[in-house]
Amino acid sequence: MSDKSTQYDLEDRTFIFAKRVREFVRNLPRSFLNTDDCRQLIRSSGSVGANYIEANNSLSRKDFRMRIMICRKEAKESGYWLRLINPIGESLDTDRNFLLDESRQLMNIFGAMLRNTQEGSRPAGARGKSEIRKSKSEN
């Protein structure tokens, strides 16, 4: 069994989060207040995964970090909208609490990714210009 198959895929996790948000919104009672909040929640929850996909296809470390920062921001925003929505019924309240917890976990994951990819640091095995010049002059 390969390491990749046992690892939880963050793209799948963010996709599932967005789908569960949509299911939650579908079950909410329609009201004037919920309508705007739900639209914003749907947008921010979907943006988490979309920006993570973009981060995985980034052209530079700076672009990667920017996309991950946006993922973290959108996960945080999703939590904000979830807290504003007042579900009626124990089942919807349980669903909302689950989604709130997931948005916090996603925020923590993206925060850890940002800390592990400090701006200006090079990937393992990468060499700077001075190191390349030094190795060429040794030949």
Q: What is the reported pLDDT for 86?
A: 82
Give me the number of domains the chain comprises.
1
32 in a structural domain: yes
CA dihedral 93, 94, 100, 106 (to 10 degrees): -160
Q: What is the reported pLDDT for 30?
A: 85
138 in a structural domain: no
Rounded to 5°, angle at Cα 58 from 18 and 38:
20
3 in a structural domain: no
Residue 95 CA to residue 93 CA, distance in Å, equals: 5
Residue range(s) defining the domain that contains residue 95:
9-119
What Cα–Cα distance (Å) separates residue 19 from each residue in 48, 49, 76? Answer: 12, 11, 17
List of the chain residues with pLDDT < 70: 1-8, 119-139
Q: In CATH, what number is assigned to the domain containing residue 66? A: 1.20.1440.60
4 in a structural domain: no
Number of helices (H) and strands (E), helices first, in the chain? Answer: 6, 0
Q: Which residue has the tokens 């701006």?
A: 119
